[in-house]
Structure 1
């Protein structure tokens, strides 16, 4: 019987998840299908989740705007998903609907791949933004860095993020507009951030969580100054690996899914 899984979000046409998972499915020789679902309404998303409960679907990756609802619908939630306040992975096991989030795993995998010299011990990381993506980043970085600073135009949102994540983080989480001593700056905004590149340490690493475009204005400005940069596609692939293992029960094969994704990304640009 064909294993059915997919990604749920709206809009969804831009998603590269079917490309990535599809490449792994083919390489592993699985009788499986990974589909991009586009539920536009809360009811349509709940119908998809019902299919997961019934076993018609093995599980779902979840993206905006359904990640918080995914968390609320689950029977069992991982500590990480609870700390982040959202879930990007739903699956059913022995009648129990489970939720997890792999965004932080993807972020750290991207850093390990594209900035292997980065060391968080005793260092400062800065996250730009205070939305859902920023919350996952702050939680993940808070396990590695000594201090994580949140820079956001609305102080109240930054303070709310800190209050929610701090109990789950060994790092000091603060709202402070300072980047000069940062080892890492992560853009979790959907728009180009305003960062004074001249204030950065020469060894500061810049990361952008978006992958459209792959080389964002933020990363290009850093690259032009010789800073190490990390792109959002590496994070997308990194978060997909544990999702694939959960949904299909096998480790992702050693195949160049980045090249597959770049071909599609170039075709859509």
Structure 2
């Protein structure tokens, strides 16, 4: 019997999850397995979840706009998904479907892979934005030992809601116009907004107050080197692009479905970049 996994979203044609997982299925010789796209309109989500196993799927990934709705629809969650109230991975267990969230794991794993010298405990973190991605990243950074999380957001109420909802123990909120104060003494700067993405305006922020040793990363990966990363690299800061977060967040799900822990390799990274019509940046 074919073991099927899918990624559910609306729309879904943009997803590169099939490219990643089918590469691993081939690499590790997983017999009778396939990973597919499943276009699921919001009004059909609950019926799809009820039918998932009947259709032969042993699990799924979840992408926009379904992450919060899947959390609400499932009765079982891992601790991370329960805290974030969002699901990006579904695993079939003896007790039924379980919702998990690996976004924060993917973010931290990418930093450890591309910047192994960096330690979360070495100083404050500055996070630009307070949306869905910021929730997963803030929770992961706190779990990793960041002593302080400084949230810079245009809307203070949204940042405050993030802090309250996640019960972040050491968080400070900064106005967007006061970003320079937030950067002073920082160990990490992360952009969780869509600013800098292809088709969006660039992130306009002065890095003058940022220590030269601070790591700078961006969850945007189209372009691979955003204006933020380019500016940081030009002044000597180490940088990490956002593509690895996409790749690493896929690892725990594949392991849960197929019993093999896959590796994020240069070959996989090159495969995804080629599909995006990009090449590795030359520093």
TM-score scaled by structure 2?
0.88
Q: Tell me whether 1:239 sits opposite 2:249 in the alignment.
A: yes
Contact 1:27 1:253 in 2 (8 A): no
Structure 1 residues 118 and 266: CA distance shift in structure 2, 3 A:
same
**2:231 aligned partner:** 221
- Higher mean alpha-carbon deviation, 192-201 vs 142-151, is at 192-201
**1:80 aligned partner:** 80
Contact 2:91 2:253 in 1 (8 A): no
* CA distance in structure 1 between the partners assigned to 2:9 and 2:184 by the alignment: 37
RMSD: 1.8
**2:199 aligned partner:** none
* CA distance in structure 2 between the partners assigned to 1:22 and 1:224 by the alignment: 37
Deviation at 1:234, TM superposition (A): 0.6
* CA distance in structure 2 between the partners assigned to 1:151 and 1:253 by the alignment: 34
* CA distance in structure 1 between the partners assigned to 2:15 and 2:103 by the alignment: 15
Q: Which structure 2 residues correspond to residues 1-269 of structure 1 after superposition, within 5 A?
A: 1-30=1-30, 31-39=32-40, 41-54=41-54, 56-143=56-143, 144-166=145-167, 169=168, 171-176=169-174, 177=179, 178-192=182-196, 193-252=203-262, 256-266=267-277
Query: 1:175 aligns to what SS in structure 2?
Result: strand
* CA distance in structure 1 between the partners assigned to 2:236 and 2:134 by the alignment: 25
Deviation at 1:257, TM superposition (A): 1.2
Contact 2:248 2:264 in 1 (8 A): no
Structure 1 residues 218 and 12: CA distance shift in structure 2, 3 A:
farther
Query: 1:121 aligns to what SS in structure 2?
Result: helix
**Ranges in structure 2 where 5+ consecutive residues have no aligned partner:** 197-202
Q: How many residues align?
A: 264
Deviation at 1:55, TM superposition (A): 6.1
Deviation at 1:4, TM superposition (A): 0.7
Deviation at 1:73, TM superposition (A): 1.3
Deviation at 1:253, TM superposition (A): 5.3
Deviation at 1:53, TM superposition (A): 4.4
TM-score scaled by structure 1?
0.92
Query: 2:183 aligns to what SS in structure 1?
Result: coil
* CA distance in structure 1 between the partners assigned to 2:90 and 2:55 by the alignment: 12
* CA distance in structure 1 between the partners assigned to 2:220 and 2:38 by the alignment: 20
Deviation at 1:95, TM superposition (A): 4.4
**Ranges in structure 1 where 5+ consecutive residues have no aligned partner:** none
* Structure 1 residues 21-62: Cα deviation after superposition (integer angstroms, max 9, x where no partner): 1110001112211112222x2123333322334362111111
